[in-house]
Copies of this chain bind each other. A is one copy, B any other.
Amino acid sequence: MSKVSFRDQVLRVREDAIVSSVNRLLAEKGFDQMTVDEVAADVGIAKASLYKHFVSKEALAGAAMQRVLDKALAEVERLGNDKAAPADAQLKAVARWAMHEQLAGEMPSLPTQNSALRAALAASTDYVDRLMQLSERLGDWIMAAQAAGRIAADLPPELVLYTLYARACDPVLAVLKSTGKYSDEQVVELVLRSWFDGLAAR
Point out residues on A near B: beta carbons under 8 Å. 28-30, 32-33, 88, 109-110, 112-115, 149-153, 155-156, 158-160, 162-163, 166, 170-172, 174-176, 179, 181, 190-191, 193-202
Contact assessment for B197 and A196 in the assembled complex, using a CB-CB cutoff below 8 Å: no
For residue A122, give the distance in angstroms from its CB to the closest CB of chain B.
13
Residue of B nearest to A116 (CB): B33
Residues of B within 8 A of A175 (CB): 162
Residue from A110, A158, A191 having most chain B Cβ neighbours under 10 A:
A158
Contact assessment for A176 and B199 in the assembled complex, using a CB-CB cutoff below 8 Å: no
Contact assessment for B155 and A166 in the assembled complex, using a CB-CB cutoff below 8 Å: no
Cα–Cα distance between A190 and B201 once the two chains are bound (Å): 19
Contact of A113 among B109, B115, B200, B201 (CB under 8 A): B109
Contact assessment for A194 and B155 in the assembled complex, using a CB-CB cutoff below 8 Å: yes
User: Besides A163-B199, A194-B198, A196-B200, 13 other CB < 8 A contacts?
Assistant: A32-B32, A33-B114, A33-B115, A110-B171, A152-B202, A156-B181, A160-B194, A162-B175, A163-B172, A195-B198, A195-B199, A198-B199, A198-B200
Contact assessment for B33 and A155 in the assembled complex, using a CB-CB cutoff below 8 Å: no
Contact assessment for A153 and B201 in the assembled complex, using a CB-CB cutoff below 8 Å: yes
